[in-house]
Structure 1
Amino acid sequence: MILENVVSDARDRAAARWDIEVRDGYAHSIRPSGASSETPPQLLLPPLCHPHIHLDKAYLLTCNNKSSPQHPDYSDLCPTSGSFDEALANTSRAKERYTPDDLYLRGSQLLATSYTQGVTSMRAFVELDHVTGTLPLTAAIRLKKDFSHLLELQICAFAQDPVFSTTHGDENRNIIEGALVEFADSIEALGTTPYVETSRDASLSNIEWAITTALKHNLHLDFHLDYTLDSPSPSPSQKPLIYSVLEFLGRHRWAQIAKKTKTIVIGHCTQLSVLEDAERKTLAEAVIASKLPIHFVGLPTSDLFMMGRPNPDSTSSHNRPRGTIHVPSMITELGLSACLGVNNVGNAFTPYGTGDPLQLVSWAVGIYQVGTSREAKLLYECVSTRARQAIGLDGGKPWGPIDEGHKLHGMLLLKNERVMELPGAIGSPCMTVAARQRLSIQDVVWDPPENSLRSVLR
């Protein structure tokens, strides 16, 4: 196979055009392109990655499946207030209706859509608790097998509900511990949500249990953490929970036992956005000094929807502070490892959007107010190479330059159209307009191409 007229930011001369001969998924030869000026250029980029996406909850509000015992109706669970507590309650009600066919259909729709968008790897969260049992997990395992030729699905056994408080905490924890043994060959990560516990002590127990359990089963670790815009109390005992995560990771010798092979991902962490600069710098220095493979995942689409509800005591209903971690600054100013994720698609936590990582980074330009070419490249890394590193892929190494012998299998190829064809006036031939050409990462981030122009090299 010959890829003609290829532009790649990973080559020494980004503006140059190349013809690449591909054999068995690798670049066999690379030479200056001999394509005619009529041949639209193609852009070759690293594949996209979902470092944080919920599989079993996808499309609950947008599936529009025919109501039947196999495919339940969730239309009565649409948001009214749009609050986090409502989303949690409605999702709990939805889980009571799950069936194997329903979970498989919605999951396959998410994976298929992601692949057409250029995603070749993802960390998929599946909830295990007293309501669902292991039903979402068994559906995820089936999906992992059926889609293995297209993408790498990393299953995260996830505790959305408390595991150390409420009447079902012990049962929820026992179900997860049992699943980690029974399905050990299929689970790569353990995730929890410490802030849903009913007390600070229970949250700390949640964190410590997750760390020791992940070490016991040799798993990656993933926390939903500090999901609030409240300023932390000056009391040391009420500091953001990220500090407790660092303390327990050190106490249980994660760096020595898991080394760099198992990462720790911190999702949401919106409270970091309200810290003073000095405190945020102190935290970053502590993370770096720990030498732990900690990665932060910003989830702005759901964070902005969930955060900043109007204060009922305020005289201004339009005063709605919103917050999400400033991923570009965390990388460039604080020296932390960070990336971007979609989190939810089509459910009460995020009822809007397609889950497209390129659309996410396009929104991120405005969300983070980062509009330079260099920042566009950084944002692309946040849904590709940096996202893959966060979930433990590629051995923590950045994507290398495209040279002869480089693996091209799985890379994302973006095509350009030469013209746009429009209907002509009555009795006239069709009208053509020269199409805009995407020739760099910034063009893709600022103006994401439709799915029909994307393909994953095979």
Structure 2
Amino acid sequence: MKLQNVILPGRDPKSRWDVDYENDTINTITPAIASTAPGCTASSSNNPSPFTLEESPDPASLLLPPLCHPHIHLDKAYLLTCNAQHNPRCAGTGPLPEYTDLAPQDGSFKEALEFTARAKQRYTPEDLYLRGSQLLGTSLGQGVTSCRAFVELDHVTGRKCLDAAVNLKKVFNGMVRVQICAFAQDPIFSTGHGEENRQILSRALEECSEGDIEVLGTTPYVENSREASLENIKWAVETALTRGLHLDFHLDYNLDREQSVMTWDVLQVLKEKRWKDRAQPGKAIVLGHCTRLTLCEDEEMERLAKTIKEWQLPVHFVGLPTSDLFMMGRSTSGDRRRGTIQVLDMISRGMDACLSVNNVGNAFTPWGTGDPIALASLGVGVYQAGTEEDAVRLYECVSTRARRAIGLESENDTVALSEGRKGEVLLVRNEQWVGCPGHLGMKIPARQWVSVRDVVWDPPDVGLRQIVRGG
């Protein structure tokens, strides 16, 4: 197919290009034949509208790399906002549980864990499939073509969440690349159910078909002692190496200077277990949250970047601002600090980092649509990043950098599209007129998205986004 008269990121926004796109590959990019852009010509004095009403050729669309969720919980999505009981179209899908009683009360992490534990007791296969399909379908409409989907395995859920994810992975094959992370949210080396949780997780890794599970994830900080947390880390690293999996830790989720930074422990274990030499090619490690790092001085952050580079560890950090900002700063002592890792600062220091949504519609994050572009836009304020260069970097954090973090092919982190690039593309369609027929009685020229900064600063409506695949 040929994508005609499009705007390309990193090039003059006034220029227009024709892109020959076949077999999901950009073969050629050539200058488009000159066309007249929509006008905003001043009208005559007897016309009350300051704009001409004559139709013009359709505006050019903006072509971008697609979006990616490098860290999102598939089984916990829309617990509070699915509202299946009130949707007649959900009739016939099987018994659907109700979760409205699990809305946040104090908003604490402890409460979110407790409410989610209650929710897990109500999960049914039909319910997990419905909410998971809603998340993936919504994400696809937003421009997402790949995701790392976390599903919990423990003594409460068994394999229920995993089985639903495997089914959804097949259903969405060819539309969304679903990379399943078998995830231990609960302790696996402490408490009364730790050993049982670990056995269930291990058994699933052994019994699943090849390729169903691609990532192992754990949460060391939920263990009841530092010793158990270290056992958690060591077991996860060794298991991932033995089974040829990517590795993903929820880590350092606090703003407490009295607590040690376990990121250093992870790096030490990775070195001791010889990840660089033993891991299969392309297998990487992701550290999510890590809010404790926001309390580190510049010197320690520089040392962190230097250590990762010298030890040649493929470590990526994923910032999760929507959850972090909601959870942090709830101290009863009056300390109301917020914290989420400084993703752009980490990138400037030479570390690999990106952004993700984490949770949508549950006690961990009851707000937000899960739109990665909206997340990038939030980053402008969170990181006080207002330059055009910042906007481009933030878009990378939900697209190219996010894909590379989960081990998907990416030649580089830039958003620029060049000949030879493989993979889907995201088309942001521009319109001629403001869409308010019947209200104003006149036509108003619509604003145009002609650059990455326009998209990040003012996210386009989902209805203007379209994933394009070259058949």
| 1:403-450 deviations in Å (ceiling 9; x for gaps) | 44443x51111110111143457xxx8321110111000000000001
The residue aligned with 1:31 is 30
The residue aligned with 1:312 is 332
CA RMSD after TM alignment:
1.7
The residue aligned with 2:417 is 402
The residue aligned with 1:164 is 189
Letter in 1 for 2:300: E
Does residue 456 (structure 1) correspond to residue 467 (structure 2)? The answer is yes
Shift of 1:400: 7.8
Does residue 192 (structure 1) correspond to residue 186 (structure 2)? The answer is no
Shift of 1:286: 1.4
The residue aligned with 1:412 is 426
In structure 1, distance between residues paired with 2:251 and 2:216: 14
| Alpha-carbon contact 1:55-1:110 (below 8 Å) kept | yes
Shift of 1:279: 1.8
Cα distance change of structure 1 residues 432 and 395 upon mapping to structure 2, 3 Å threshold: closer
| Alpha-carbon contact 1:260-1:293 (below 8 Å) kept | no
Shift of 1:401: 5.1
| Alpha-carbon contact 1:61-1:74 (below 8 Å) kept | yes
| Alpha-carbon contact 2:396-2:413 (below 8 Å) kept | no
Letter in 1 for 2:249: F
| Alpha-carbon contact 1:227-1:268 (below 8 Å) kept | yes
The residue aligned with 1:285 is 306
In structure 2, distance between residues paired with 1:21 and 1:250: 46
| Alpha-carbon contact 1:46-1:399 (below 8 Å) kept | no
Does residue 219 (structure 1) correspond to residue 253 (structure 2)? The answer is no
Letter in 2 for 1:292: L
The residue aligned with 2:169 is 144
1:294-333 pair list within 5 angstroms: 294-309=315-330, 311-314=331-334, 320-332=336-348
In structure 2, distance between residues paired with 1:446 and 1:79: 30
Does residue 22 (structure 1) correspond to residue 21 (structure 2)? The answer is yes
The residue aligned with 1:93 is 118
| Alpha-carbon contact 1:53-1:342 (below 8 Å) kept | yes
In structure 2, distance between residues paired with 1:413 and 1:84: 38
Cα distance change of structure 1 residues 359 and 402 upon mapping to structure 2, 3 Å threshold: closer
| Alpha-carbon contact 1:21-1:27 (below 8 Å) kept | yes
| Alpha-carbon contact 2:188-2:223 (below 8 Å) kept | yes
Structure 1 segments (4+ residues) deviating >6 Å: none
Secondary structure in 1 aligned to 2:191? coil
1:340-351 pair list within 5 angstroms: 340-351=355-366
Secondary structure in 2 aligned to 1:378? helix
Cα distance change of structure 1 residues 187 and 264 upon mapping to structure 2, 3 Å threshold: same
The residue aligned with 2:52 is none
Cα distance change of structure 1 residues 330 and 125 upon mapping to structure 2, 3 Å threshold: same
| 1:288-345 deviations in Å (ceiling 9; x for gaps) | 2211000000000000000001x3344xxxx51000000000001x210000010000
Shift of 1:39: 2.4
Question: 111, 114, 117: which one pairs with 2:136?
Answer: 111
In structure 1, distance between residues paired with 2:248 and 2:445: 47
Cα distance change of structure 1 residues 406 and 296 upon mapping to structure 2, 3 Å threshold: closer
| Alpha-carbon contact 2:64-2:417 (below 8 Å) kept | no
In structure 2, distance between residues paired with 1:15 and 1:424: 32
Deviates more, 1:370-379 or 1:20-29: 20-29
- Taking only the aligned residue pairs, the percentage that are identical comes to 57
| Alpha-carbon contact 2:244-2:280 (below 8 Å) kept | no
In structure 2, distance between residues paired with 1:400 and 1:305: 30
In structure 2, distance between residues paired with 1:244 and 1:169: 21
| Alpha-carbon contact 2:400-2:410 (below 8 Å) kept | no
| 1:226-257 deviations in Å (ceiling 9; x for gaps) | 00000145xxxxx3111110111111110001
Work out the number of aligned pairs and report it: 442
Deviates more, 1:251-260 or 1:15-24: 15-24
| 1:187-230 deviations in Å (ceiling 9; x for gaps) | 00000000000000000000000000001110000000000000
Question: 84, 87, 98: which one pairs with 1:73?
Answer: 98
| Alpha-carbon contact 1:260-1:292 (below 8 Å) kept | no
The residue aligned with 2:399 is 384
| 1:6-31 deviations in Å (ceiling 9; x for gaps) | 111255x5542112233343334432
| 1:346-392 deviations in Å (ceiling 9; x for gaps) | 00000000000000010110011000000100000000000000000
The residue aligned with 1:236 is none
The residue aligned with 2:49 is none
Shift of 1:146: 0.3
Shift of 1:41: 1.3
In structure 1, distance between residues paired with 2:102 and 2:359: 16
Letter in 2 for 1:283: L
| Alpha-carbon contact 1:301-1:342 (below 8 Å) kept | yes
| Alpha-carbon contact 1:188-1:219 (below 8 Å) kept | yes
1:200-219 pair list within 5 angstroms: 200-219=226-245
Shift of 1:32: 1.7
Consecutive unaligned residues of structure 1, counting only runs of 5 or more, are 234-238
Consecutive unaligned residues of structure 2, counting only runs of 5 or more, are 38-56
Deviates more, 1:361-370 or 1:388-397: 388-397
With structure 1 as the length reference, what TM-score do the two structures score? 0.93
